[in-house]
A and B are shown apart, each in its own frame.
Chain A
Amino acid sequence: MPATLAPAPAPVSFQTHPDRYRHWKLTFDGDLARLEMSVQPDGLNEGYELKLNSYDLGVDIELADAIQRVVFEHPEVRCVVLTGGLDRVFCAGANIHMLGASTHAFKVNFCKFTNETRLYIEDASKHSGKRFLAALNGTASGGGYELALACDKILLVDDRSSAVSFPELPLLGVLPGTGGLTRIADKRKIRRDRNDVFSSVAEGIKGKRAVQWDLVDRLAPLSRWDEAVAEMAAELAEEVPSEAKTGVALDAIGGDWDEDTLRYQYIELRLDRAARNAALELKLPADAGPKNGAEAHAAGSDWWVFRAFRELDDAVLRLRVNHPDIGLVTLRVVGDPGVVSATDALLATDEHWFVVEVRNQIRRVLKRYELSAKSLYAVADEGTAFVGSMLELALASDRIYLLNDADAPVQMGVTSANSGMYPMANGLSRLETRFLGDEAAVPRILEHRLDQGGALLDADTADELGLATFAPDELDWEDELRLAIEERASFSPDALTGMEANLRFAGPETMETKIFGRLSAWQNWIFQRPNAVGPNGALKCYGTPQRPDFNYDRT
């Protein structure tokens, strides 16, 4: 184990393609897809070796890409089998040496991304007509079992030695933090005392007891393994309808740096490194393009709204991982509000599978945006078009600054996209979450839906409706914004992240909010404690002859 942290890693790219996968093999057979994990020893960074199908961020970027490919490029797929490509090994979870050598910030972002990817598996199951089978051909420990838990069903090989396990607590002094504790409790709804036992037994539970305790769904002997996997996959596929659909190729979205500006087709991200903030701008096209599902499908990757949100997704990920020092993002959406309302009308009403998937994609990107540990200010000044799906971006931000100037009128607008099309992690729409304490507010706003005869909202009306945090006039505008930005940059980044994470998700708890709000917060606390990362902490001692030396005081 290296004594010092690895040197600053090279910028991480989140774009890949199955042709370039190093750790996964994605194959298709009719309505079945097979996603086989065979992790190569050299990972994204130096200083660790990915043994026994343990993973790092690079492995998970490929997994996330594969899920996207299955959803968009292979709509015919009804069941995806996740399995291990190494003999008698499914997956050993996140690589411990990689965690030990990473900065705290990187660890947190890594865990967040892997959590999002696990949720995308569940999202595809719930919204995209896919079923996922975890075919555990060998032991699934830690993050490996957490990955299995994200699937609809778990099949475990019954070879009298392979087990599912959470060794984090007993061996590493941390938590199964990639949704593991949440999913055994809230998804599989296993009894609390059994979860307690399971989570403290390093070698895990195998065979019949694993089925009895509902840790896995079924066992299959080695001799019948392939048939059993095929049978179970076929059963799962039957749960979803089969339709003839033609996929849409996901072309590369680019994104090139020109000094401090990252440019895509619709998104531009300008960094002000000295001020530690970034200006994110989404430029709408001049024309809304497709008028129905078929046209959208024909446009495919080039449908502007699809591309714009894929670009936004990529920009957000790069900001998170490659630019930890950027604390505040100011967001503007500029262009013709009519383009958004026309596109929203299509998104809201057309049930073409591709339109539905784009809608799902936008929902996921919005969540990724608001789950970022950056302060987010939406800036609605002259030329902006915070309407419908774009208004969601503003509502996903921590504050909305709206210019109220008769000579430079700013208009906002609501569409059906704001009435629950993109629920947040808490299951509510952003408007419902914003106005939890005022039941009448949401219907009052939705009265103005553009697709239901409403009109754009001028600054006064938008402010009265509660859509602006502050609506300074032209005399105050520049100063108010400057001061708000400078002030934000001066606060403790840790306290800001904590505050934002607490304020963004008012309302009910869901498995998702528990994963990000509770499990992750505890994990990130433990990640900072000497019992995990101190010189004699469990994470540091793992794999060395030394035993961890705990401070036994309970906090």
Chain B
Amino acid sequence: MSSIDYEQKIPNNVDLKSDKKLQRALEKWLPDYVQWWKDMGPTDFNEKDVYLRTAVSVERDGWADFGYVKMPDYRWGIFLTPNEKDRVVGFGDHMGTDAWQQVPGEYRNMLRRIIVTQADTEPASVEQQRLLGHTAPSIYDMRNLFQVNVEEGRHLWAMVYLLHAFFGRDGREEADDLLERRSGNPDHPRILGTFNEPCTDWLSFFCFTTYTDRDGKFQLLSLAESGFDPLARSCRFMLTEEAHHMFVGQTGLGRVIERTCELVNEHDGRDVRELGGIPLETIQRYINFWCSSSNDLFGGEISSNASNYFASGIKGRAYEEKLDADHRALEGHYEMDVLENGRLSKEEIPLRNAMNELLRDEYVSDNEKGIIYFNKIVERLGVDFRFALPHRRFNRKVGMYSEGWFDLSGKLISETEWIERVHEWLPSTEERAYVQSLMKPCLEPGKIAGWIAPPAKGIDGKPFEYEYVKL
């Protein structure tokens, strides 16, 4: 029935060549996907050879196959970590029963919603970042951007595979809609707010890959525990790639900080802006913005959806399997600062209803480590500045803390105070314009823009000067 050589075109370990249902679905979706990539991906670089990593198998040496490739020809594969024999549902009401190899009819809609929501973030970030190639500070960074982009594309594939393979016609329609929604589009925006925020400068990109992709990491960690085995196995494989995105973000921000510190040291007392650098205060405000926006992605603090997902065995806690805890989570409570009548007070929330908050706890603690890494750079370079993570209550648009005003330390403040001080905490229009003004391409191999330091080393053992993108 097919005119496409799937094995060649699509590296996979899901026996695509003998799955007619999947072939039929992909046959229609694949051309639409390629078209979407051409329209909404890094359009102007589609003809360039990029030194990219491609996953060709789930073996140790298979997931990172390096070589030059034109992005539209990238081999977006479908990989699940290998089947774990006799895997059982590890938490919730179905704990101990065989993990589902098929979607249980009872949870079809719930699972589809979760998968679609996760899937929607993947193409969204490609759309958000589509113009960044034009202002890359180096071709090393440009290559990293494209690597992130193609892998977000592959993550979309992984989710679309689940929709196509397990959700019948509904799944195919949802997969089509994933290509219809557009980041920031007023008529058909992406599902989650953060994924409609413009990401047009590289400082935002590094923040995005640090904070928003880290949300992705924790969502994947919790779905990697899912009782729906194909979802769990897809997410486990995606996590290996997500780690690289956070590396790009974390080291990227670190290099901007490093460069600013160098400028401060070299030109003591001068405003780094005069020297083409980005002030540490500005970086802090960017962190405040992206971190708080990404905090929203975990959802409401007290959530019956989260409780249902957990009870149903669909979405666990991060590292659920390894947790030394009651995996049914029926008994315990979570002590939470609840905002009521303009006051914060401690309340005990049934554990299952606090699942979003538990996941956010893990996220916050991971972010703290990132801040320590930044501060070590500042400390090493002897600059008198320390970064801090904004409190989870700060600048929220989702959840109960969105009902009040909070400063960076999480203290409840008045709206007046918020209005007076918000420019201290979040980037101003002028500040954004300044950062944007620095975004000039620097594309000669071995060269780098003045606002960022070069990386400690290149990719795949290659030097920084390597021609990662043949322009």
CB-CB nearest in chain B for A483: B105
Segment touching B, from A179-187, A221-229, A365-373, A485-493: A485-493
Interface: A534 (CB within 8 A): no
CB-CB under 8 A from B102, the residues of chain A are: 479, 482
CB-CB under 8 A from A487, the residues of chain B are: 105-106, 108-109
Interface: A480 (CB within 8 A): yes
In the complex, chain A residues 524-547 whose Cβ is within 8 Å of any chain B Cβ: none
Q: Which of A470, A479, A490 contacts B106 (CB 8 A)?
A: A490
Q: Indicate whether A475 sits within 8 Å of B21 (C-beta atoms), given known contacts A480-B169, A483-B168.
A: yes
Q: Indicate whether A483 sits within 8 Å of B103 (C-beta atoms), given known contacts A475-B21, A475-B24, A476-B21.
A: yes
CB-CB under 8 A from A490, the residues of chain B are: 105-107
Interface: B411 (CB within 8 A): no
Interface: B104 (CB within 8 A): yes
Least CB distance from B108 to A in Å reads 5
CB-CB under 8 A from A472, the residues of chain B are: 168-169
CB-CB nearest in chain B for A484: B105
A380 to B190, CA, bound (A): 39
Q: Which of A470, A475, A476, A482 contacts B105 (CB 8 A)?
A: A482
CB-CB under 8 A from B104, the residues of chain A are: 486
A259 to B139, CA, bound (A): 73
Interface: B20 (CB within 8 A): yes
CB-CB under 8 A from B166, the residues of chain A are: 479
Report yes or no: A476 in contact with B168, Cβ–Cβ below 8 A. Answer: yes
Q: Indicate whether A485 sits within 8 Å of B105 (C-beta atoms), given known contacts A475-B20, A476-B21.
A: yes
CB-CB under 8 A from A488, the residues of chain B are: 105
A218 to B106, CA, bound (A): 59
CB-CB nearest in chain A for B24: A475
Per-residue CB proximity of A461-505 to B under 8 Å, as 1/0? Answer: 000000000101001100110111111111000000000000000
Report yes or no: B105 in contact with A489, Cβ–Cβ below 8 A. Answer: yes
* Interface of B: prevailing SS: helix
CB-CB under 8 A from A485, the residues of chain B are: 105
Report yes or no: A476 in contact with B169, Cβ–Cβ below 8 A. Answer: yes
A490 to B308, CA, bound (A): 14
A191 to B166, CA, bound (A): 60
A472 to B24, CA, bound (A): 13
A471 to B416, CA, bound (A): 60
Per-residue CB proximity of A272-305 to B under 8 Å, as 1/0? Answer: 0000000000000000000000000000000000
Per-residue CB proximity of B80-113 to A under 8 Å, as 1/0? Answer: 0000000000000000000000111111110000
A480 to B24, CA, bound (A): 16
CB-CB nearest in chain B for A491: B106
Least CB distance from A26 to B in Å reads 49
A486 to B169, CA, bound (A): 17
In the complex, chain B residues 138-187 whose Cβ is within 8 Å of any chain A Cβ: 166, 168-169
Per-residue CB proximity of B14-25 to A under 8 Å, as 1/0? Answer: 000000110010
* Interface of A: prevailing SS: helix
A487 to B108, CA, bound (A): 7
Q: How many residues of A contact B (CB 8 A)?
A: 15
Report yes or no: B20 in contact with A486, Cβ–Cβ below 8 A. Answer: no
CB-CB under 8 A from B105, the residues of chain A are: 482-490
A486 to B108, CA, bound (A): 9
CB-CB nearest in chain A for B21: A475
In the complex, chain B residues 15-37 whose Cβ is within 8 Å of any chain A Cβ: 20-21, 24
A490 to B109, CA, bound (A): 12
A203 to B104, CA, bound (A): 57
CB-CB under 8 A from B108, the residues of chain A are: 483, 486-487
CB-CB under 8 A from B24, the residues of chain A are: 475
A54 to B107, CA, bound (A): 48
A480 to B105, CA, bound (A): 9
In the complex, chain A residues 7-60 whose Cβ is within 8 Å of any chain B Cβ: none
CB-CB under 8 A from B168, the residues of chain A are: 472, 476, 479-480, 483
CB-CB under 8 A from A480, the residues of chain B are: 168-169
Least CB distance from A379 to B in Å reads 15
In the complex, chain A residues 222-256 whose Cβ is within 8 Å of any chain B Cβ: none
A476 to B105, CA, bound (A): 14
Least CB distance from B162 to A in Å reads 13
A487 to B168, CA, bound (A): 14
Least CB distance from A472 to B in Å reads 7
CB-CB under 8 A from A483, the residues of chain B are: 103, 105, 108, 168
CB-CB under 8 A from A484, the residues of chain B are: 105
CB-CB under 8 A from B20, the residues of chain A are: 475
A281 to B20, CA, bound (A): 31
A486 to B166, CA, bound (A): 14
A483 to B112, CA, bound (A): 12
CB-CB under 8 A from B21, the residues of chain A are: 475-476
CB-CB nearest in chain B for A490: B106
CB-CB nearest in chain B for A480: B168
In the complex, chain A residues 134-175 whose Cβ is within 8 Å of any chain B Cβ: none
Least CB distance from B202 to A in Å reads 45
A44 to B166, CA, bound (A): 49
CB-CB under 8 A from A482, the residues of chain B are: 102, 105
Q: Which of B103, B106, B169 contacts A489 (CB 8 A)?
A: B106
CB-CB nearest in chain A for B25: A475
A166 to B220, CA, bound (A): 65
Least CB distance from A469 to B in Å reads 12
CB-CB under 8 A from A475, the residues of chain B are: 20-21, 24
Least CB distance from B270 to A in Å reads 66
CB-CB under 8 A from B103, the residues of chain A are: 483
Least CB distance from B170 to A in Å reads 9
A531 to B322, CA, bound (A): 53
A476 to B168, CA, bound (A): 6
CB-CB nearest in chain A for B103: A483
Least CB distance from B89 to A in Å reads 16
A531 to B285, CA, bound (A): 63
A482 to B168, CA, bound (A): 11
* A475, A479, A485: most-surrounded residue (chain B CB, <10 A): A479
Least CB distance from A517 to B in Å reads 29
CB-CB under 8 A from A479, the residues of chain B are: 102, 166, 168
Of the A-B pairs whose beta carbons lie under 8 Å apart in the complex, a sample of 15, sorted by A's number, is A472-B169, A475-B20, A476-B21, A476-B168, A476-B169, A479-B102, A480-B168, A483-B103, A485-B105, A486-B104, A486-B105, A486-B108, A487-B106, A489-B106, A490-B105
Given A479-B168, A483-B105, A490-B106: 7 more A-B contacts, CB < 8 Å? A470-B169, A472-B168, A472-B169, A479-B166, A482-B102, A487-B106, A489-B106
- Chain B residues in the interface with A (C-beta under 8 A): 20-21, 24, 102-109, 166, 168-169
**6 shortest interchain CB distances as A-B pairs:** A486-B105, A490-B106, A487-B105, A475-B21, A483-B105, A476-B168
